[in-house]
Amino acid sequence: MSSFPEALLGQWTHVRDSDFDDLLEVMMQGMALPLPFARSLVSSCHKAIIGREGQFYTIKTAHEGHTHTLKFKIGEEFEEVCNPMGKKRKSVAVVEDGNLIIRAVDESDMFKTEYKVSGDEMEVILTDDDESATRYYKR
């Protein structure tokens, strides 16, 4: 198993998105949450803090007045809240080609998040079925 990409550690500021509306529409299908409200929630995510706590890694995202935290060990299954309505799923974090990838464990759930760093820029690529979007961050 590859080691955690240390370049991810630190505080990141969201700067822009690419193709995010299309992915959000797919993610919100079948939910009672209105799409404009979901857009406002995710667009308010200005900070991401990636850290280490002993053997665990954390990814904290700060929204207006709300913080969401993922806590996981590489290669071990964990539970994550995956939408604004509080839906949970089992996921696993792995390192592939130097990038952190968090994917759903259930084979019927094709959601995957990939974290890539190049210098002081981070791309977070979110994929659900055939839709994909990228969120861009700077240190």
pLDDT tens figures, 56-75: 999 998 766 677 889 999 99
Residue 108, domain member (yes or no): yes
pLDDT tens figures, 68-125: 889 999 999 999 876 656 678 899 999 999 999 999 888 777 789 999 999 999 999 9
- Are residues 137 and 14 in contact, defined by beta-carbon separation less than 8 angstroms? yes
- CA distance linking residue 137 with residue 139, whole number of Å: 7
Split into its structural domains, the chain has a count of: 1
Cα within 13 Å of Cα(76), Cβ side: 9
Domain that holds residue 119: 6-31+44-138
Residue 37, domain member (yes or no): no
CATH of the domain at 100: 2.40.128.20
Instruction: Give the CA distances from residue 134 to residues 2, 18, 104, 113, 115, in Å, rounded to whole numbers and listed in that order.
Output: 24, 5, 18, 10, 10
Residue 68, domain member (yes or no): yes
pLDDT tens figures, 1-40: 568 999 999 999 989 887 666 655 555 555 555 555 555 5
Cα within 13 Å of Cα(33), Cβ side: 20
Residue 80, domain member (yes or no): yes
